[in-house]
Amino acid sequence: MIICVTNRLLCKGNFLERIEQIAKALPYSIILREKDLPLEEYEQLALECEGICRKYNVPLVINSYIAAARKLKASYIHLPAEIFLKHRKELSGFRQAGASVHSAEEAKFSEIMGADYLIAGHIFHTGCKRGVPPRGLDFLRQVCSAVSIPVFAIGGISESNANEVLKAGADGICMMSQLMGCDNVEAVFEGYREIFAENKKLKD
């Protein structure tokens, strides 16, 4: 399973065209990150992206902007764990609510408080977190062992290390820069589908 996390500043070409290419490849969901946008601009962009995602029945996930999610009557929201835990009582109306975690303890508490899935990271070195040491595969194993809900790994994941992430217990991966900047979105998805399929064979 692949979650796309957007970053229009890294996007190659037109952002909405890229969203359509990604949605057409049928990821688990698309998280509209874009945390630098003012609320009104974020809401407008979310409306445009939602229209695209609806065509392919792919969930568009509102990231962090609880007010925007309410205004847009969104079904999906994703929050950093500390915000998720603080505002958990406000999230009961969403079909799915996820949390980003940075420790096994955060993961356990987020599950107890009703998170439907977790994003754990960052696992490997990534340009998005320059100067910040990665948490590594041991951290990922601890998170995956601590909870029973799906865990998606994020941070520096590529076709060369995705299998290690899956072996550590992750149910899927999150991708940002690779999907935003690649030449062929479908080819990227196909490469990872082969890795997922091979990993499943080994587990079976």
Whole-number Cα distances in Å, 31 to 62, 109, 198 = 6, 22, 26
- Name the β-bridge partners of 10: none
Contact 32, 49 (CB under 8 A): yes
The pLDDT mean for the chain works out to 93
Residue 202 identity: L
41 confidence band (pLDDT: 50, 70, 90): very high
Whole-number Cα distances in Å, 57 to 20, 112, 123 = 12, 29, 29
Question: What's the pLDDT score for residue 171?
Answer: 96
SS (H, E, C) 61-92: EEECCHHHHHHCCCCEEEEEHHHHHHCHHHHC
Which residue's entry shows tokens 């990821």? Answer: 27
Contacts of 147-151 with CB under 8 Å at 24 or more apart are: 147/107, 147/108, 147/110, 147/111, 147/118, 148/111, 149/111, 149/115, 149/116, 149/117, 149/118, 150/1, 150/116, 150/117, 150/118, 151/107, 151/117, 151/118, 151/119, 151/120
| pLDDT, tens digit (0-9, with 9 covering 90-100), for 105-154 | 999 999 999 999 999 998 998 766 666 788 999 999 999 999 999 999 99
Question: What's the pLDDT score for residue 81?
Answer: 94
Write down the domain spans for the chain. 2-203
- How much is the pTM? 0.94
| pLDDT, tens digit (0-9, with 9 covering 90-100), for 58-81 | 999 999 999 999 999 999 999 999
Average pLDDT over residues 174-184: 95
Between CA 151 and CA 157 the distance in angstroms is 14
Average pLDDT over residues 22-34: 97
CATH for 2-203, among 3.40.50.300, 3.20.20.70, 3.40.640.10, 3.10.20.440? 3.20.20.70
